[in-house]
Amino acid sequence: MRAGRAPGRPAPHPGGFRLVRTPCVLLLSALLLLLGATPPAQAAENGEWAVYPAAAQLGSRPYFFLTADPGSTVTDRVTVANKTAAPLTFRLYGADAYNTDRDGGFAVRTQQEKQTGAGAWITPERTRITVPARSAVTVPYTLSVPADADPGDHPGALVALDERITPGGRGGVAVGVQRAVAARLYLRVNGPTVPALGVEDVTVDQDRPLVPGTRTSTAVISYTLHNRGNVTLNPQVVLRARGLFGRTLLDRDLTKVPAELLPRQKIRLTERWTGSPQFDRADVTLTATAKDVKESGTASFLAFPWLAAATVLVGAVAGFLGLRIRRHRAARAEAGTETSTEARREPSAHVST
């Protein structure tokens, strides 16, 4: 968030970071155990503190896996462990999870954002805790599922937000960074489950040389992967391209696909194709599969050296017109020569008296 300077003396920031003469940009890094493939089964931590479900044996529950009926209440406990040599104070809250726009990684909402799913249903017994050095504190919480909650998956997290704000930044803008660690929570509300997946808005952007063969061409294929159902999916995507007469131009398993696509989430992904055709017509097909679902999206493109073709066409037209003009001039010159010859051969008239 961006805060402007108030008139008069600057007020101290609630976290102890004073705004002095410069605006402050507060960056909340609550995206932990996020991004890319599903992390290994271990407690979420950043080296200074960890957040994990309370269990009889450490590490036996890396995440919360809960099942509940609409209108029911679930109780559980979350543990926050301080690995530093000084006490740390945290804000503890529930948050909704979502897929990031950048690469579809697992992320959670900040405390300032509105929670509409599992994050809104989680109520920790204590929302502010101080954990002594090299110790752990376990806090009970309740998760109250509304009676009208939609069936299916409602992913979220228990977040421990460090109250400290670390100053940083350069120049005229002061930057304060607040860090958080979150333990994932996978909640399934009992009822009908409907897996549904879509591959939408497939486009192809080509980068070809003006003169074919002078360099390697590339194409960037963009598409939207959309979880239209109410359960979390683990999609796999295959990219295929067919040229004229059904020739196989490309057949590739894509790796830049999120390990988890959360319900009702959609992300925009791209794939670079180096060595795409420079003179062909191609059909691109993206096929996404997950448990019990399979969907495809297609796009076609024409790889044609338009500038080179236009240059050749203009040259051909110019040559044709030049030839026509030369022939026309030659014909006129020949006609003029024949007329002059006939005039010289005409006999003169003789009049006798």
Mention every residue, 6+ apart, whose C-beta is less than 8 A from residue 92: 78, 80, 124, 126, 127, 128, 129, 139, 158, 159, 160, 161
What residues have CB less than 8 Å from 305, skipping those under 6 apart? 208, 210, 211, 212, 278, 279
Comparing 5-19, 100-114, 191-205, 331-345, the range with the smallest average pLDDT is: 5-19
Residue with tokens 């925009």: 268
CA 308, CA 93: separation in Å to the nearest integer? 62
pTM of the model: 0.75
Give the domains, in start order, of the chain with CATH numbers. Answer: 2-189 (2.60.40.10), 197-306 (2.60.40.10)
Q: Please compute the mean of the pLDDT values over residues 119-142 and round it to a whole number.
A: 97
How do residues 165-222 score in pLDDT, each as one tens digit? 888 666 666 677 889 999 999 999 999 999 999 999 999 999 988 777 788 999 999 9
Average pLDDT for 315-332:
72
Least reliable range by pLDDT among 77-86, 318-327, 340-349: 340-349
Could you give the CA distance from residue 336 to residue 176 in angstroms, rounded to a whole number?
A: 93
Residue 9 has pLDDT above 90, yes or no: no
- What gap in Å lies between CA 169 and CA 17, rounded to an integer? 13
Average pLDDT over residues 307-321: 61
Q: Does 34 have pLDDT greater than 50? A: no
CB-based burial of residue 220 (10 Å sphere; 0-12 exposed, 13-18 middle, 19+ buried)? Answer: middle
Q: Which amino acid does the sequence have at 278?
A: Q
Give the whole-number percent of the chain exceeding pLDDT 90. Answer: 62
Residue 311 pLDDT grade (very low, low, confident, very high; cuts 50, 70, 90): low
